[in-house]
Amino acid sequence: MSGLAYLHSQHIAHRSIKGANLLVDSCGVVKLADFGMAQQLSGQEGGHICVEGKSILAIIYGRHSLLASDIWSLGCTVIEVLTGRPPWSQHASVQEASFKIASGQDTPQFPETLSSEGKNFLRCCLQRNLLIGQLLPCY
């Protein structure tokens, strides 16, 4: 998270947070990789970004910040790493999942073995318009 916090402090959105773009070193430290989609922002820009369907809120809410989309994608990626499948993958179509997400009618299930702190972290990540500065003080 410190790498993402640094990017965001420099007003840079990664825009492609997913399992394939996370590297783990020999000490178990996770590093961000592949900055090909990264974008320098001038303040809080909105955007229509979709990376593998994980930043769907950026599409549903055009005003949704690209930085907040990184946080949303982080939460989705953690869920996928823990469960082996993307959140909301139980829905028949992207449109159905998008509707459920936008309406707030559906939250992804977290593994029962996940600690309460882990579940709280994921709930925080999946809030709309959350920025890294709001997430880091808790963790």
Report d(CA 89, CA 52) in Å as an integer: 12
Per the model's pLDDT, the better-predicted residue between 41 and 72 turns out to be 72
pLDDT tens-digit readout, 92-109? 888 888 888 877 777 888
The domain total for the chain is 1
* Nearest residue to 59 via CA among 72, 75, 74: 72
Here the CATH number for the domain that contains residue 34 is 1.10.510.10
Query: Per-residue pLDDT for 91 more than 60?
Result: yes
Question: What range does the domain containing 131 cover?
Answer: 2-138
Per the model's pLDDT, the better-predicted residue between 62 and 39 turns out to be 39
> Which percentage of the chain shows pLDDT scores above 70?
74
The answer to whether 106 touches 45, Cβ cutoff 8 Å, is no
Prediction pTM value: 0.76
Report d(CA 123, CA 39) in Å as an integer: 26
Q: Is the dihedral of CA 79, 83, 86, 92 positive or negative?
A: negative
> Could you tell me the pLDDT band of residue 78, with boundaries at 50, 70 and 90?
very high
